[in-house]
Amino acid sequence: MLGITILGNNSAIPAFGRHPTAQIVTVADELFLVDCGEGTQMRMSTFRVRQSRITHILISHLHGDHFYGLTGLINTMNLLNREQELHIHGPAPVESVINMHLALANTQLRFTIHYHTNPAEGGIIHQGAQVQISCFPVTHRIPCWGYRFDARTGRRKLLVEKAKSLGIPAEFYKKLVQGHDYENPATGACIRNEWVTEPGPVPPSYAFCADTLFNPAIAGYLQGVHTIYHESTFLESEADKAAIRFHSTARQAALLAKIAGVKCLLLGHFSSRYETLEPFLEEATPIFPNTLLAWEGTTFLVRPTAVSKPA
């Protein structure tokens, strides 16, 4: 299972009940926090997100609406006696900023933080049992990265009748779905795994495209991804402002989703100049019909064979 819980969907300024960027990506039993705008820990409390289950925090860039909540969250984790280590990925200065804040407050952490600097050209940044995470550069006013989550299944579909006919004992079936071949202990004959199994279900995938100018080249990092979150700070009527500020419009987000060949698009990072969000959907859907607004408090489930929709 891969789910995305939207904690904040606004851009720089909180407005109309919307908050700065933050979202939780859940893969199996692991929680990953993507960006941490001001007030993120309060949103986590509102939506009953267990911060103790967060293992990695991914920061896209160092504009305040994407990381000003990080020091507060770390401090709260410490006050709640966290002992589990925490991994923080992002631009190199994140470590010095957090360490400065903690030093000024004379905070002694009870847990270890491992800082990981995103490679400028992107690449794999985490290989876990449940998921592989990679980062990719986007086009913004300062260095900025998106993140891609590829869940792992690791299991093949067993053809039970075929396995029985070839004399494979039932106690070996678990190894078959894990991809192992079977060797007959009496004859030494090898039964290849692909003879008695089929590929398992397509694992879910998701990409967070961060703050970026419209750039079709980003589609190259999104091949095979089911659902993407793409910023839509402005409507097309203000495309000039989007370009000057290195942001995108709803129409441009839809164009990128179409170019990349993804299945579902989530729109977010809305400017505080817009009180209602329905116009963003109206602008995007003629170009990319399977577009959804990233409403705060909503969890979207990524199902590779179906539309991604709220839980």
The catalytically annotated residue of 29, 35, 65, 211 is: 65
Contacts of 240 (CB under 8 A, 6+ apart): none
Radius of gyration in angstroms for the set of CA atoms belonging to the chain, rounded to a whole number: 22
CB of 185 within 8 A of CB of 137? no
Both tokens of residue 190? 């090898």
Phi-psi region of 8 (alpha: psi -120 to 50; beta: other; left: phi over 0): beta
> What are the angstrom distances between the C-alpha of 174 and each of 4, 129, 168, 236?
31, 17, 11, 53
CB of 249 within 8 A of CB of 229? no
* Residue appearing with tokens 């990524």: 302
User: With b meaning 16 or more CB within 10 Å and e meaning fewer, what string describes 77-100?
Assistant: beeeebeeebbbbbbeebbeebee
* Residue appearing with tokens 């690791």: 154
Contacts of 215 (CB under 8 A, 6+ apart): 138, 139, 256
Residues in the chain: 311
Q: Is-catalytic flag, 211?
A: no
Catalytic residue list: 65
